[in-house]
Chain A
């Protein structure tokens, strides 16, 4: 499948906004997803966006999609210590398959 790329690390101060970026290459993707993984746990679905949307907001989370540049971002407002985790973006390819990025480890500094 096509590759999904993410930066591996992001460090922010508590209370600031975090922006996690992702690029994908399959222009036919219909859905894109953000998952959160805490240490020793499985992946928790945070949100998803349909490819005909530019933005989706859900409480502290804002997803932006630039389909022309194949760029997806996740903004977390007022970042808290509980937001420390690895964040994965994924794109739907074909009927049921998801292709994941490598994950971005978010660290919160007090």
Chain B
């Protein structure tokens, strides 16, 4: 998985609780992304980062915030989890290479009860 780890790998939480997911990379890539994967929707971009402290929204950013204080770490926070945020969350990284390829982490399965 191109030097990308995600933690935790599985989490069950209750509605209304805050949750933070962590993505850690050892590739020193500039760009980092958070996606969610749901049946029938493929992957949808939540937020992305183009450098330390530089982030922007994706197509499904409502209810999520992100932070990037170091090149290697990108955090995704659900301030108050809802059942609609039950999903599998993937982190990805990329660099300004010829194909702008994105490489994905193993995913975090989050269940909100």
Contacts and interface: CB of A to CB of B under 8 A. Distances in A.
Nearest to B49: A96
A43 interface: yes
Closest 8 CB pairs of A and B: A100-B42, A42-B104, A43-B104, A100-B43, A102-B42, A48-B99, A42-B106, A42-B107
Contacts of B64: none
Interface string B100-113: 11111111000000
A10 interface: no
Contacts of B50: 95-96
B42 A33 contact: no
Interface residues of B, number: 24
- Give the secondary structure class of A's interface: strand
Interface of A: 1, 4, 31, 33, 35, 41-45, 48, 50, 88, 90, 92, 95-103
A42 B1 contact: yes
Nearest to A49: B99
Nearest to A35: B104
Contacts of B62: none
Interface centre among B101, B106, B107 (most CB of A within 10 A): B101
A96 B41 contact: no
Contacts of A97: 45, 48, 58
Given A41-B106, A42-B107, A1 B101 contact: no
Given A42-B1, A42-B107, A96-B31, A102 B100 contact: no
B55 interface: no
A45 B102 contact: yes
B1 to A, nearest CB: 6
Interface string B79-113: 00000000000101010000111111111000000
B107 A31 contact: no
Nearest to B44: A100
A31 B43 contact: no
B48 A48 contact: no
A45 B101 contact: yes
30 contacts: A1-B59, A33-B101, A33-B102, A35-B104, A41-B106, A42-B1, A42-B105, A42-B106, A42-B107, A43-B43, A43-B92, A44-B104, A45-B102, A45-B103, A45-B104, A48-B99, A48-B101, A88-B43, A90-B43, A92-B100, A96-B31, A96-B48, A96-B50, A96-B94, A98-B102, A100-B42, A100-B44, A102-B40, A102-B42, A103-B42
